[in-house]
């Protein structure tokens, strides 16, 4: 079963259980998937779905920061609940040590020598670690590896 099919089944389950909050989040995710398919005229696979989930989680985190700054804890709590639902569709993430090790291997393989090679390293890292690791954490590991 693909991730998209799993999300559709979870939507049906949420509808039967009358879980309005979970249902709303899942519908929002399915709308984002459908939008991607229509815009790019493709059929999404699990890698693209994971990328969309990552993007939506990042948006929710940004919203939480804005809501907390504006003293709107009720809205921040709603966004946090959506993050919890969305995280259920992400694969197991790599630990910080695993990310650091993978980045060091990629830096060696690419032959990067300093901060000027960051773009080349990040391109290779994104191909290998997309969906497996938090890209903010990966970026920090690349900076640390290229700035001895």
pLDDT digit string, tens, across residues 24-73:
999 999 999 999 999 999 998 888 888 899 899 999 999 999 999 999 99
Q: Which residue has the higher pLDDT, 113 or 73?
A: 73
Which residue in 141, 63, 128, 57 sits closest to 95, CA to CA? 141
pLDDT score for 103: 82
Judge if 81 and 117 occupy the same domain. Answer: no
pLDDT band of residue 148 (cuts 50, 70, 90) is low
Judge if 16 and 44 occupy the same domain. Answer: yes
Domain range holding 13? 3-87
Residues 94-107 have pLDDT tens digits of 777 888 888 888 87
Judge if 109 and 135 occupy the same domain. Answer: yes
Region 18-23 average pLDDT:
94
Whichever domain contains 33, its CATH number is: 1.10.1510.10
Cα atoms found within 13 Å of the Cα of residue 68, Cβ hemisphere only: 10
Judge if 107 and 67 occupy the same domain. Answer: no
Judge if 74 and 21 occupy the same domain. Answer: yes
CA distances from 103 to 8, 15, 96, 110, 131 (A): 35, 42, 11, 10, 15
Judge if 83 and 128 occupy the same domain. Answer: no
- Mean pLDDT, all residues of the chain: 87
Say what the pTM is. 0.74
Q: How many CB atoms lie within 10 A of CB 145?
A: 19
For every residue of 31-59, DSSP letters joined together read: HHHHHHHHHHT----HHHHHHHHHHHHHH
Distance of CA 82 to the CA centre of its chain: 13
Q: How many domains are contained in the chain?
A: 2
């Amino acid at each position: 079963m693909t991730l998209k099919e799993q999300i559709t089944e979870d939507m049906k389950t949420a509808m039967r259980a009358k879980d309005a909050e979970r249902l709303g989040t899942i519908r929002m995710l399915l709308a984002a998937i459908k939008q991607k398919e229509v815009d790019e005229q493709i059929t999404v696979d699990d890698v693209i779905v994971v990328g969309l989930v990552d993007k939506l989680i990042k948006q929710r985190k940004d919203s939480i920061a804005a809501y907390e700054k504006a003293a709107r804890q009720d809205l921040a709590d709603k966004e946090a609940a959506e993050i919890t639902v969305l995280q259920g569709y992400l694969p197991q993430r790599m630990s910080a040590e695993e990310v650091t090790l993978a980045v060091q291997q990629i830096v060696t393989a690419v032959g990067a020598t300093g901060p000027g090679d960051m773009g080349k390293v990040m391109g290779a890292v994104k191909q290998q670690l997309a969906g497996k690791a938090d890209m903010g954490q990966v970026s920090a590991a690349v900076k640390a590896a290229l700035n001895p």
